[in-house]
Amino acid sequence: MEKNYPPYTITDKMLNYVSDIMKKIGEANYFENLNKYPELRRKSRIRSIHSSLAIENNQLSLFQVEDVINGKPVIGKQKDIQEVKNAYEAYEQVDKVNPYSVEDLKKIHGVLTFLIEKDAGKFRNHGEGVFDGDIQIFMAPPHTMVSELMDNLFNWMNEVKDTINPLILSSIFHYEFVFIHPFHDGNGRTARLWQTAILSHWEKAFSYLPIESMIKKNQEEYYTAIQNCNNAGNSTEFIEFMLKIINDTINELMDSKEMKDKSQLLLSENEIRIIECIKRNVLAGAKEIIEETNIADRTARRILKKLLDNNTIEMVGNSEKDPNKKYKITE
C-alpha cells in the first residue's frame, strides 16, 4: 500500500488554542499540584475512567467506579465492573508505554478489554462501523487494510513527533485511530487513552488531566466532529475540537476550589507576603506593596503580573498604565 499520511490543515484557531494551553502549562502551580498531590491525581483519574466508559454506555455511576477501584463490592453488570478494573489498570500504565509504538498500543488494548473481548490486543478480521449509540456514523476501512493503515499512522508519528506540537499530533492520532477503527471493540476508549499517553509523554501532568470528562460533556459535538471530518476527508475540525476540549479541561481544573487551595501551598515566600499585604489593605497600589513588603521593585511587579495572570488577584483601575491602579484579592 502507498504511504498515505494524515491530511489536515493548521488553522489560526488551532494556533491560538495551542498558545493558550502552553501559557497555562507554564503556570506551574496548577500542574505541579497534580504531580505533587496523589489525592488530586486519583480523583482526576477516576473522573477520566468514568467518563470514557460512560461514553461507551457503561452504566456505573462515578461513585460506583470509585468503589470498584477501591476494591469495594458494587451491584452492577459484571461487564461494566470488569471494564472499570481494566481501565484503571490501563491508565496506571500510561506513563510506562511508548506512545509511538503500535505494539505497546496493542498491549494496552489487551488490558482495556481483558475478559471482555476474545480478540483483546488483536486487530479485527471483519468489517466494523463507528456508532454513536445505535446511530452509525460511518463504516471503517476494510479489515484487510487495518495493519498497513496503522503502520502508516505510527510511521508518520515517529517521523513528525519532534516537529509537530504534541497537542496537535495527539489530536490527529485520535481522529485517525477512530477512523481506522482497528479493533472489534474498545476503539473509543483506546483512542482517548492513547491521546493521553502521547500528551503525558510530553508533559507528565496530562496523564491525570480528565480530558475524557470534558469530552463526555460535549459528546454530541465529539461525534459530529468525527463525522464532519470523515465527510471532509481531513481531521482539521476534530483537531480544533480537541484543542478546545483540552483548553476547557485545564480552565475547569484551574477554576476548581480544590486546585486553588492546593496552589496556595506552592506559593513562594515573596508571593505570600504580597498576597497578605493586599489582604490587609483591601485595595493596595504597587508602591505601597513594595514599601510594606520590602521586596525589590522589579521582583514585586513580576509577582503582581503572575498573580494577575493566574487570577489570584485582580486590578482596580482604568488601565494597566493607570499610575493609580490598585490590586485586590479575587473573590
**Among the three residues 261, 276, 299, which one is the final residue of a domain in this structure?**
261
CATH code for the domain in which residue 85 is found: 1.10.3290.10
Residues 66 and 113 in one domain: yes
**Please, which pLDDT band fits residue 31 given cuts at 50, 70 and 90?**
low
Residues 135 and 256 in one domain: yes
Any long-range contacts for 165-169 (C-beta under 8 Å, 24+ apart)? 165/18, 166/198, 166/199, 166/201, 166/202, 166/203, 167/17, 167/18, 167/21, 167/199, 167/243, 167/246, 168/10, 168/14, 168/18, 168/239, 168/243, 169/198
Instruction: Note down the domain range covering 312.
Output: 268-329
**Please, which pLDDT band fits residue 259 given cuts at 50, 70 and 90?**
low
Look at residue 127 and tell me whether its pLDDT is greater than 50. yes
Between residues 317 and 93, the one the model is more confident about: 93
Residues 299 and 206 in one domain: no
What's the CA gap between 136 and 130, in Å, rounded? 6
CATH code for the domain in which residue 292 is found: 1.10.10.10
Across the range 282-306, mean pLDDT stands at: 86
Across the range 59-87, mean pLDDT stands at: 96
Between residues 26 and 235, the one the model is more confident about: 235
Across the range 209-222, mean pLDDT stands at: 95
Would you state the pLDDT for residue 204? 86
Look at residue 91 and tell me whether its pLDDT is greater than 90. yes
For residue 27, being part of any structural domain is answered with yes
Would you state the pLDDT for residue 257? 58
Look at residue 1 and tell me whether its pLDDT is greater than 80. no
List pLDDT tens digits, range 146-194. 999 999 999 999 999 999 999 999 999 999 999 999 999 999 999 999 9
Would you state the pLDDT for residue 34? 61
**Among the three residues 261, 279, 307, which one is the final residue of a domain in this structure?**
261
Contact predicate 11/236, CB 8 Å: yes
**Among the three residues 216, 238, 261, which one is the final residue of a domain in this structure?**
261
Look at residue 220 and tell me whether its pLDDT is greater than 50. yes
Across the range 210-223, mean pLDDT stands at: 96
Minimum mean pLDDT among 19-33, 123-137, 281-295: which range? Answer: 19-33
For residue 4, being part of any structural domain is answered with no
Residues 278 and 173 in one domain: no
Residues 283 and 228 in one domain: no
Would you state the pLDDT for residue 4? 73
Residues 150 and 238 in one domain: yes
What total number of domains does the chain contain?
2
Look at residue 324 and tell me whether its pLDDT is greater than 80. no
